[in-house]
Amino acid sequence: MRIVDALLWGEQELKLAQVENPRWDADLLLGYILKLRREQLYLGRDQLLAPDQEVAFAQVIERRVKREPLQYILRHQEFMGLDFYVDKRVLIPRADSEILVEKVLELKRAWSPTKDGSPPAIVDLCTGSGALAISVAHYWPEARVVGTDLSPNALAVARLNSERLGVRVEWREGDFLAPIRGQSWDIIISNPPYIAEGEYTELAPEIAEEPRMAFLGGVDGLDFYRELAREAPALLKASGRIIVEIGWQQSVPVTRFLQELGLTTEVFQDLGGRDRVVFARCE
C-alpha cells in the first residue's frame, strides 16, 4: 500500500465512524507511524509502506474509530508553545485554557517585587497534566509555582512533563484545597471540574476516555467554585488574585461567589467568544 492509498483508506474509515476532521487525523496518525511530518507524507505519497507499518497504521486507525482521543494515541499535546506528554491518566489540555495562562502573564509584566524580595507564590489547583502550572513556571521563572491534584497518577504525568521541559514546579497531592491550607498565595489558578452531572453524558464520545473526575463538578457543576470562594479569604494575600476557567454559562454564579467576598471580578472570553475565564482580585 502506498502512502497516498493509506491516507485515503484511513480518512474513509474515520469518516464512516463520524470522527471530526478525518483527513487531518489520518495524516497525523500515519505520520506518527512513519515518523514523518505531514508535508513529508505528501512529498513521498507514492512510497510503499512495509507490512508492519500497514498493520501499525490499521491499529491506530481502529483506536481512533473507537473514539480514543487523538492526543492519547500520539501521546502529546501542544499548549502555550510547549509539548506536553498526555495519556489516559490526565485531562487533555485545550487551547481555550491558554487564556488563563495569558492573564497570569499579564500580571507578571506589572508585578512589583515585595519588600522582602520573595517571589510571587502561585498555585495551580487540579493541575492534571501540569499544563497550567508548567506554562506559568516556564514563562515566569522567577515565580514559586505549586501544582496540586487529588490523583497520584495525574501528578506522575505532571512530574514527567516538568522534567521533560526542564521547569521547576512543586507538586502536592491532596483533595482540592487541602494541600495549600495554612499558606497565603499571591495568585490561585485552576481549571477545576465544572461539568454538571446531568450534562456529562451529552458530551462528545471522546470525553468518556478522559478521567471522569476531571469533569464532574457536582449536580450543577459549581461545587469547586463554592469551596474556593468559601476559603479564599484565608488563602489569599492582601493583594491576591484568583483566576479560574469556567463553563461558558457559569460566569454569573462564579462571579457572584467571588464578589460576595468583596473581590472585583472580570470575565474573559475564549476563542469562540464564550465566557471562559473569571479573574478576581482583592481591592
For the stretch 133-146, pLDDT in tens is 999 999 999 999 99
Q: Which residues contact 209 (CB under 8 A, 6 or more apart)?
A: 67, 68, 69, 72, 88
CA 225 → CA 146, 184, 220, 259, 273, distances in Å? 19, 18, 11, 12, 22
137 is a domain residue:
yes
Q: Do both 16 and 57 map to the same domain?
A: yes
Residues 9 and 84 in one domain: no
Inside any domain, residue 20:
yes
Residue stretches of the annotated binding site for substrate: 191-194
Which structural domain range is residue 83 located in? Answer: 77-281
Whether 275 maps to a domain, the answer reads: yes
Q: Which residues are annotated as a binding site?
A: 149, 176, 191-194
Same domain, 82 and 201: yes
The neighbouring-strand residues paired with 78 are 83
pTM: 0.94
Answer whether residue 47 is part of any domain.
Answer: yes
CATH number of the domain at 262, please: 3.40.50.150
**pLDDT digits 0-9 by tens, 64-121:** 999 999 999 999 999 999 999 999 999 999 999 999 999 999 999 888 776 667 899 9
| End-of-domain residue from the set 18, 40, 66 | 66
Q: Is 264 helix (H, G, I), strand (E, B) or coil?
A: strand
Domain count, the chain: 2
Q: Scanning the structure block, which residue is given the C-alpha cell 484545597?
A: 177
pLDDT of residue 115: 62
Quote the pLDDT of residue 176: 96
Q: Are residues 49 and 139 in the same domain?
A: no
The mean of the pLDDT values for the chain is: 96
Which pLDDT does position 125 carry in this prediction?
98
Q: Is residue 55 part of a domain?
A: yes
Q: Is 127 within the bounds of a domain?
A: yes
Q: Are residues 258 and 143 in the same domain?
A: yes
Percentage, residues of the chain above pLDDT 90: 94
Give the pLDDT mean for 17-37: 97
Residues 81 and 27 in one domain: no
* Statement to judge: residues 60 and 94 lie in one domain: no
pLDDT given for residue 112 in this prediction: 75
Q: Is residue 71 part of a domain?
A: no
Q: Are residues 15 and 138 in the same domain?
A: no
Average pLDDT for 167-194: 97
Cα separation, 32 vs 141, whole angstroms: 33
Among residues 46, 66, 86, which one ends one of the domains? Answer: 66
The last residue of a domain, from among 22, 40, 66: 66
Q: What is the pLDDT of residue 107?
A: 95
- Is 266 found in the same domain as 163? yes
Taking 80 as the threshold, does the pLDDT of residue 283 lie above it?
no
136 and 18 together in one domain: no
Domain presence at residue 241: yes
The binding site for S-adenosyl-L-methionine comprises 149, 176, 191
